[in-house]
Structure 1
Amino acid sequence: MMKLTQIASAVALCVGVLPAAVMAQAQTAEEQSVEVIDVTGTYIKGVDLEGAQPLTILDAESISRSGASTLAELMSTVSQTRGGTSSFDTAQSGATSTSTPAGQAAASLRGMGPASTLTLINGRRIAASSFAAGTQNFVDINSIPLAAIERVEILATGASATYGADAVAGVINYILKDDYDGAEINLSYGNSTASSDEGKWSINALWGGEVADGHLMLFADYFDRNAFKATDRAYLPGRTLVNSYSYLPAGTPNIYYYSDRDGLERPSPDCQSPLVETEYGETICPYYGYQHDYLQTPTENLSAGLSYTRDIGDITWQTDLFYSTSDAVAYSTPAPINQIDDSEGPFTHEFSLDIYPAEIRDPLLDNLYIDPFTTPAGRTLYGFQFDARFATPRTVEIETDNVRLVTGLSGVYRDWDWQTAITLSRSESSQRATQGIYNRYKYHAAIAGELCADGSIADYNTTTDALTCNSGDPLAMYNPFLQGDAQNDALLALTQEVPTREGESTVYGWDIRASGDWFEFNGEMVKAAVGAEVRREEITDVPSLNARARFENDYLVDVFGFGSSLSEAKRQQWGVFGEVFVPLSDQLQLQLAGRYDDYDDFGDTFNPKVALTYRPSDDLVLRASWATSFRAPSLTQAGVQLRTTTASYDCTSDQTINDLFCGGSGGVFGNNVLELGNPALKPEESESISVGFGYSPTKNTTITVDYWAFDHDDIVDTDMTAVMIRALDDASLRHCGLVPEGALGISFDEATCDYTDANGLTLLDDGVNLVEIRDQYALDYGRLDDDGNVEAGDNRFDLYRDHVLQLENPGQQEVRGIDYHLEHRFELAASDLTLTLSGTHYVSFERNVPGLNEIEELAGQFRYPKDIANASVFWDTDDYYVGLTALYTSGYADEIDRLRGREFDELDAMGALDSDGQRDVSSWTTLRASAGYFWDKAAVRVTIDNLLDRDPPLVYGSARGFDAYNHDANGTYVSATFTYSFE
């Protein structure tokens, strides 16, 4: 019944308006002397909506004065897209599958996630990046050339009633230049004042003129940026705590504590780093991640495009086309080295220490257990275990090509504006891992002397105890302790792999819209808009086989520390929408909108919007709106196959789970899991309200304040706790050892299936008494006290690895805040002085802990500042301008709880913690100086970011020592742009 009601509502809205449109077309059209433009947030043209909705506009001059070279840099200055961890750029990129793809960036409104922000170009969609961030697809805004942008319109409130899916937090609409006449060229260069080179430069050209009875605009843009490493700032390594080390050194191994008779980790004799003493009294060779941390990836981008408009009688034909290609490189820390089954402590041959002089080697060997281990070929050798990571960072190169074509017709017929267009948008990415990726089987074969010259693993004949290769004899043993030896390094090189990844994301769309006067009401015309849209989306993300987790390989990716997941999905959608603007009186206006969407995968949805505008006087407008919105599950979330990630289960949420898996001790525990897409996912849903006012007491003064709130439900995520609860009664979700191919559920320790309850049932049987199985298992495998009883906390099941969890809709978040903007312009003799203050205050940001039932308050917590604000003063004349902007980010609680105990103890000893064992991150204010000078045909603009060269606040919860989402380590950064216009 609900579905029929929703369909009826949508159809009635459209059917009720369309006949009026036809009647209006039968009337005599009058010449319109005022240009009618589109405004983000409505399809109704010709309505004065100034002040009626909380719309933020960045015009061409604002963009120029920002000093930004990319859209990611520009959006980092907008309060609605700052704060939290949802907007990201290349500072968060890396060489692993869960990292942001190198060179790409996303803008997110309200910190609610990039997939909850609809990105448009000229009011129409653009294909998402084929390489998702995790499983969230996003539009790569770096693929949109900044040189082609006329303005940016930001509507930070729910807008699915107008635009359909994904406008949960709002819409960012990038408006391209299309009516430019003349020619100009822009040269830009920027760099920090540090001794390192973080330079970026760009050149773009623009031309517009009359061609073939129409108007043609052409643009081209080239952008290049150097890498920026943590080691380029001397203070960053100094922020890393001494105890923020890893036991896995790069290149030179530690001797694993299992092999040491004293049970202590021991350093390689030729460790290249200062040794540290651990909390266990060990002396080890440490590793610190800053050594290979890139804060900015090297990126090169080329884009070009055109816009052509021609009037054909009473109809206007417009075509927009742009193409961009980018090349980027991303880096992650060197991969850890594990055993073949991914457990810690790989084995090396007992003779590996023979490279050292006897006075060093013999004491080490005297203190080691020499144990047997099985090689990839199936032999038994003797050796000891070590701890290490490779010396070379994981490195990937990524090339991305984007093309977007929109061609359409528009016109006016009997006072009704209409337009229709076809959209084709495609994003293709190709990734290639070039360094630091090694095959786990070949590596262990090299250590055992079982690697052949062609990179294959030798065959072992158990009868003759001989190894054979297809050609020649097996190569010598690789020694992980031998550094800088050409022959040894050549053996390691043979184990290197070059995984690849190919992705393509495509949007095909057709839409038709019309708007005009519907009927007269109270002496005023009721205006309306109607339309329809059909869209098809496709995505493929196909990694090479050696980068996938597969059952036949025990879910172990062929290479160390690297993996991607296959994802393929497509969907078709159609929607109809209608919108009405009703002048209830001279002072009160009503806006109603509704949209019905039907998807061929999850079904249909109807989303309404109601907005009221009250103008008690010419200088005051009161506004309020309510709307529902939705986000269709991303195609990656629908089609991903066995993505390697982590998930947690909460032993405090269910007493039975606590008793069986946590020994009654409670707590939250993390696990390695495989995430599986779900074509049956429901759409995420949101309800939003916005209440505010705009006040202009003088013609030069503007004040706006808006309270907004979002209730966002059914967020896509995995829920390991819920799966474990279901597994209590569903034997199909319980598995001993690896989860079988095609199955879902929890992986128990393999030995668990050796036990039966009083009725002879095993863990895999329905109706089994799990408590009886647990008690037997824990008695054999738990630690016993002096009386032979299982110690408290150990009366539990042990989980294995690689639980297979399907994506569900367990998430929720509620976000509330206030936006404000104050601006006043003083008219001076031959100049203007403008003061501006704008910002966002987060009242609350409540979200469930991913995979858990617990609700956490994020506002004011780690990486979620409560206040974001900008204040500026600009002095403008006809020939030049100068300005100063202060950018403020409030402080928040540091994430002390994520630190290891030894790090916490170090902070406590430093006196860095308060009486509650916590600390706060300081607020951060930077100054941006801007200046520009204009001639008849030329202009020069200079921007100096972080004028006072302020270091970012110290953050111990981040391994970098600062928060790269809300702060930056660039220091003072100077950008200059020269523009020349031709006749």
Structure 2
Amino acid sequence: MKINRLHTAICIGLGLGMTGVANAQETDSEQSVEKIQITGSHIRGVDMEGAQPLTIISAEDIKKSGASSVFELMRTISQTRGGEGSFSTSESGATSTSTPAGQAAASLRGLGPSATLTLINGRRIAASSFASGTQNFVDINSIPLAAIERIEVLATGASATYGADAVAGVINYILKKDYQGAELNVSYGNSTASSDEGKANINFIWGDEVGGGDLMVFADYYDRKDFKATDRSYTRDPVLQSSYSYLSKTPNIYYNSSNVQDEDGNYLEIANPNCQTELVRTEFGEDICAYYGNGDDWLETPLESLSTGFSYNKDFGDLNWKTDFFYTNTKSTSYSTPAPINQIDDSEGPFTSETAIDIYPDEIRDRLLDDIYFQRFDTPAGQSIWGFRFDGRFEDPRTIEIETDSFRLVSGLQGMVGEWEWESAVTLSKSESEQVATAGIYNRYKYHAAIAGELCSNGNIANYNADTDTLSCSGGELLGMYNPFARNDAQNDAILAQAQEMPTRDGESTVYGWDLRFSGDLMEFNNDVIRSAFGLEFRREEITDVPSLNARARFENDYLVDVFGFGSSLSEADRTQWGAFAEFHIPLTEQLEMQLAGRYDDYNDFGDSFNPKVSMIYRPTDDLVMRASWATSFRAPSLTQAGVKLRTTRASFDCSANQAVADLYCEGFGDLRGNNVLELGNPDLQAEESDSVSVGFAWSPARNTTITLDYWRFDHEKLVDTDMTGVLDRAISDASLRHCGLVPEGEMGISYDPDLCLVTDMAGLTIEQDGANLSEILDAWVDFDQPRFEELPLNRDHVLLLENTGNQTVSGLDLAFDHKFEFSGGDLSLQFDATHYISFERNKPGSDEIEELIGTWRYPENIASLGLFWDTDDWFAGVTAYYTDSYADDIQRLRGREIDELDSLGELNADGERDVSAWTTVRLSTGYEFDNASVSLSIDNLFDREPPRAYGSARGFDSINHDAFGTTYRVSLSYFF
């Protein structure tokens, strides 16, 4: 792919694959000036682009890239690679709080999508109504690739120009305009594997003069098939045998309902006699029916997208009216592993009737009668029956379908007042999403009623008469007893189907905006002029995210969501904001220029923020430009973060970040644990803040040679998130955060097993009392309960408030080289682009200790690409290599049994660690231009390189930095009318 980096030396393009940018450079005040405007400045004038490094992806670059979507295109530039910020549907799941299916986001420098401002034609677009976690983001899959003329990427702080969210920089998608003629493009891509991951695309563009103005209309259709882990040999099987789950689709008998003991008297899980897979030996010496997620893992979800839109420009005397509009409809399906089955109160080991084992042959049943410890349990209708506990999950994956409608309308006027250019526009942008769970979601109350034989045919739970010991249904017939151990039984499956539910989720995100901008010469200075820009902006943002009642956690229901394994997300917020900015371009000498900018923003919720910027441009010679800039930026708390009413999710706490937390909750191990939590929005959140520095140069030692080098650094503070590790740490000394059982309404903190308050420390204090010694309480709990794991027993639904949790500092170098050899038959271009991360420091959750992320899991130190292209008048051919450096595997987050297996396989070094190997893939692209048509072919991962093995991911590879597609191809045909 060709990538241009603009600078101001001698009117040439910079970066990976220059296509040239025509600049008219002013040599004295009498010469004419070509007015241009680039991302990063509102000043229209020469050479402003040189104040900061800018990456431009042109229409020609897009065509040669072979990308079929905006996300595929953006993942090839170095600024969006590395770290965990950018994501696609490979990370989505089928729960109400998952990354939204079918949507994708681009993140600069690994700082996260909410720290990257996304613009279209220099103005904002509505965020997705469904946040990724609590981070709102713009779904770049909603931007039609066919309508894009070019993309400008400014990877440095830009709040002084654009306001909130431009912490890591700006990605500005410039739409086509003034198009003349018509073009039809059809493309198809797939992998070379036997499975079908086909991607089909058709788009049409037409432009002409209409009504005295220029009209451009486009339409785009895109269809993508799904891609499962089972479609490749290297992702089909579990990466480690020890990475199993006890929760099998064919349930086991829970160890607390077992009479089978080991030599030390510990009770052991009993395998399901009808296990459909080979039994697995656990670290406790059990042979169980285990579950691995690979069989239910979609590496890419199906997606269908339809876009249409137009742009229109017309002059009315000295006024220019321009309007652009586009509408996108996307439909997608996403999947998660089958939901675990818990008790009604969400604790482990649900009960089933003793009759469940009657399905087995007599010899097996007789053995189970001896091996199982039967006990009475209470049913939803109020019966007390004999049964036993089991470990299991449902058979069908959780499945959701999501449909999103997005549109954006911008209409504005542009003209002159004296020598000043002005423009004003109104913006309306909206994203509406509807989500429905179509499979794998079951009502917890109905399910347990079905297990007890208390479910009616109309879905109601039967009434129990204790006096007559009978069950009755109102308006339906009593169904039989559901047996979770039975398989391939139509009547049994029909009973389970009565417990299925289809929760929904509706979201809407809207941006209303108005702006007014002026640009012109302010005053004469140093035999030149000071150029300037001023502007005002008003914006209102609204967002709602409302699930159906059966997918909400409610205090009156003990915070239990009615359905298993789906979560709850309820948020609603709005805000108004106004801002004012000023920019000045000051010629200090003939060789030295300065840019000053500042912007003030005022929000009606969290407050205000002022952000300045200073940049310098120095031209010691005609072929060398030196530049430096400093700026502050901010990210306003997202509307989701400010307006979360109650969000049920899984929060992780990092045992490796805090040894005290590890000793109390993780048996001293440094793994990552997860728990059900309730997140609450925080109206008192402060804005995230950042200082950014950029220093570099652009040098053209020869006419066809360009070298750029830029150092950059971000100091990012007051990051917003929930911090369970920190809350666990604070709870060691703060009794107000410790609760036996559910956290009371209106309070926050950690929920412990209710029975934990039955034990005390040596001073007689319970865990809820001030001054309690948690280490002594842990010792007392182990003596009292003799638990399988010697750690403080956490309950569920810890209540955590979103807060400004920490800081991070990121720095690195960008290097680009471009050289073109001119021959009589064509041009040969050599292009190199690389990013070297010097440091990525972040405080550990719950600790002031700073950790260095570069070289750790998902944070490669070096990212690079090298391309060689041959261009003639009618055809091109090129090859590009993409390199991702090695980094440490996520070994410390694994459980002890997994580490033991890795050690036995010889995968660990002397320090008990291993690296994920570096990965290099090669893209081949070629195309031919006819008189009125063109054809192109691109082949990705030409040598079919498998992704490097990563044991820290259950998938066996890092789906953020690598992919499992293998060799893929795309053929494109265009016809011009």
Query: With structure 2 as the length reference, what TM-score do the two structures score?
Result: 0.93
Indicate if the aligned counterparts of 1:718 and 1:851 stay in contact, CA closer than 8 A: no
Q: What is the deviation of 1:661?
A: 7.8
| Aligned equivalent of 1:254 | 252
Are 2:211 and 1:212 aligned?
yes
Find 1:526's aligned residue among 501, 521, 530.
Answer: 530
Q: Distance in 1 between matches of 2:749 and 2:603?
A: 29
Contact 2:759-2:780 within 8 A present in 1 as well: no
1:869/1:724 Cα in 2 relative to 1: closer, same or farther (>3 Å)?
closer
Q: Which amino acid aligns with 2:772?
A: V
Query: In 2, are the aligned partners of 1:774 and 1:797 still within 8 Å (CA)?
Result: no
User: Which deviations, in whole Å up to 9, do the C-alpha atoms of 1:386-435 show, x marking residues without a partner?
Assistant: 11111100000000000100000001222211100000000000000000
Distance 1:400 1:915, change over 3 A: same
Alignment of 1:855-934 (within 5 A): 855-934=850-929
Q: Which moved more, 1:633-642 or 1:159-168?
A: 633-642
Q: 1:673 aligns with which of 654, 670, 677?
A: 677
- Residue 770 of structure 1: how far off its partner (Å): 2.7
Compared with structure 1, are the counterparts of its residues 706 and 780 closer, same or farther at alpha carbon in structure 2 (3 Å cutoff)?
closer
Taking the aligned partners of 2:96 and 2:57, their CA distance within structure 1 comes to 34
Contact kept in structure 1, 2:189 and 2:971, CA below 8 Å: yes
Cα deviation for residue 471 of structure 1 reads: 2.9
Alpha-carbon separation, structure 1, partners of 2:751 and 2:629: 48
Tell me which of 927, 936, 942 is aligned to 1:941: 936
Counterpart for residue 970 of structure 1: 965
**Offset at residue 86 of structure 1 (A):** 0.8
Residues 647, 851 of structure 1: 8 Å contact kept = no
What is the match of residue 824 of structure 2? 829
The 1:797/1:394 distance shift into structure 2, 3 A limit, reads: closer
Change (3 A) 1:633 1:65: same
Partner residue, 1:336: 340
Pair 1:450–1:239, CA change in 2 (3 A)? closer
SS of residue paired to 1:222? strand
Q: 1:31 to 1:95 in 2, by over 3 A?
A: farther
Aligned residue number for residue 468 of structure 1: 472
In the TM superposition, what are the counterparts of 1:413-428 in structure 2 within 5 Å? 413-428=417-432
Task: Tell me if the contact between 1:239 and 1:954 (Cα under 8 Å) persists in the aligned partners.
Answer: no
Counterpart-to-counterpart distance in 2, 1:659 and 1:77: 43
CA shift at 1:761, angstroms? 9.4
> How far did residue 260 of structure 1 move?
1.6
Residue number in structure 2 paired with 1:37: 36
Separation in structure 1 between the aligned mates of residue 655 and residue 918 of structure 2, nearest angstrom: 36
How big is each residue's C-alpha offset from its partner over 1:203-226, in whole Å with a ceiling of 9 and x where there is no partner? Answer: 100011111111110000000010
Alignment-mate amino acid for residue 220 of structure 2: D
Q: Match of 2:709?
A: 705
Contact (CA 8 Å) 2:860, 2:886: kept in 1 or not?
yes
**In the TM superposition, what are the counterparts of 1:249-398 in structure 2 within 5 Å?**
249-250=248-249, 252-262=250-260, 263-398=267-402
Distance apart, 1:644 and its partner CA: 2.2
Query: What does residue 166 of structure 2 align with?
Result: 167
Q: 1:280 to 1:650 in 2, by over 3 A?
A: closer
1:90 and 1:671, CA in 2 relative to 1: closer, same or farther beyond 3 A? Answer: closer
Compare 45-54 and 490-499 and name the one that shifted more.
45-54
Counterpart CA distance in 2 for 1:864 and 1:659 is 28
Asked if structure 1 preserves the Cα contact closer than 8 Å seen for 2:670 and 2:892, the reply is: no
AA partner of residue 541 (structure 1): D
8 Å CA contact 1:706–1:819 kept in 2: the answer is: yes
Tell me the equivalent position of 2:6: none
Give the superposition deviation at 1:33.
7.0
For the residue of structure 2 that corresponds to 1:73, the secondary structure is helix
> Which residue of the partner structure matches residue 806 of structure 1?
801
| Structure 2 contact 781–792 (Cα < 8 Å) conserved | no
**What displacement does 1:747 show?**
2.7
Report the residue type matching 2:810 in the other structure. Answer: V
Structure 1 residues 482-526: Cα deviation after superposition (integer angstroms, max 9, x where no partner): 111111000000000101000000000000001110111110111
1:25 is matched with none
Q: Counterpart of 1:128?
A: 127
Aligned to 1:783: 783
Q: For the structure 1 residues 772 and 123, does the alpha-carbon distance in structure 2 shift closer, same or farther, using more than 3 Å as the test?
A: closer
SS, match of residue 51 in structure 2: coil
Aligned-pair CA distance for 1:800: 3.3
1:399-478 alignment to 2 at 5 Å?
399-478=403-482
- 1:753: Cα distance to partner? 6.0
CA distance in 2, matches of 1:37, 1:622: 21
- Conserved? CA contact 1:196–1:232, under 8 Å: yes
Letter in 2 for 1:771: A
Map of 1:753-768 to 2, 5 A cutoff?
Answer: none
Alignment of 1:503-522 (within 5 A): 503-522=507-526
- How far the C-alpha of 1:952 sits from its partner, in A, is 0.9
Instruction: Give the Cα separation in 2 of the matches to 1:274 and 1:726.
Output: 45
Contact in 1 for aligned 2:96/2:505 (Cα 8 Å): no
CA displacement 1:947-983 (0-9 Å, x = unmatched): 111111111111111111111111111101111110x
Tell me the equivalent position of 1:17: none
- Which amino acid is the alignment partner of residue 701 of structure 2? P
> What is the Cα deviation at residue 740 of structure 1?
1.9
Residue of structure 2 equivalent to 1:19: none
**RMSD over aligned Cα, in angstroms?**
2.5
| AA matched with 1:783 | D
Distance between the aligned counterparts of 2:764 and 2:284, measured in 1?
A: 45
Deviation, structure 1 residue 268: 1.8
What is the match of residue 771 of structure 1?
Answer: 772
The equivalent residue for 1:487 is 491
- For structure 1, the 5+ residue unaligned runs are 1-29
Q: Which amino acid aligns with 2:505?
A: R
Counterpart in the other structure of 1:606: 610
Q: Following the alignment from structure 1 to structure 2, what is the Cα–Cα distance between the partners of residues 538 and 192?
A: 41
Give the match for residue 697 of structure 2: 693
State the 1:880 CA deviation. Answer: 0.3
Would the alpha carbon gap of residues 662 and 933 (structure 1) be closer, same or farther in structure 2, given more than 3 Å must change?
closer
Deviations 1:787-823 (A, max 9, x none): xxx99x97x9654332211111012111010001000
Alignment partner, residue 21 of structure 2 = none
* Pair 1:548–1:784, CA change in 2 (3 A): closer
Question: Which of 840, 843, 847 is the matching residue for 2:838?
Answer: 843
Give the 3-state SS of the residue equivalent to 2:772 in structure 1.
helix
SS of match in other structure, 2:106 = coil
Mapped partners of 1:78, 1:142: distance in 2: 17
In structure 2, relative to structure 1, the CA distance for the partners of 1:238 and 1:736 (3 Å cut) is: closer
Task: Please tell me whether the aligned partners of residues 756 and 773 of structure 1 are also in contact (alpha carbons under 8 angstroms).
Answer: no
Distance 2:934 2:609 in 1: 51
Q: Is this contact kept in 2: 1:443–1:495, CA < 8 A?
A: yes
User: Contact 1:205–1:221 (CA<8 Å) still a contact in 2?
Assistant: yes
Q: Aligned residue for 1:142? A: 141
String of CA shifts for 1:149-208, please: whole Å, max 9, x gaps.
000000000000000000000000000001111111000110111111100111100011
The 2-side partners of 1:779 and 1:849 are apart by 27
Match of 1:14 in 2: none
Amino acid at match of 1:474: L
Secondary structure of the residue that 1:264 maps to in structure 2? coil
Distance in 2 (alpha carbons) for counterparts of 1:192 and 1:784: 58
1:754 to partner: Cα distance: 6.8
Counterpart residue number, 1:195: 194
Shift in Å at residue 784 of structure 1?
7.0
- Matching residue's letter, 1:367: D
Residues 522 and 803 from structure 1, CA distance in 2 versus in 1: closer, same or farther, beyond 3 angstroms?
same
SS at match of 1:339: coil
Tell me the secondary structure at the aligned position of residue 474 of structure 2: coil
Sequence identity (%): 65
Question: What is the total number of aligned residue pairs between the two structures?
Answer: 942
| 1:915/1:725 CA distance change after superposition, 3 Å | closer
Structure 2 gaps, min length 5: 1-28, 261-266
Per-residue deviation, 1:658: 9.0
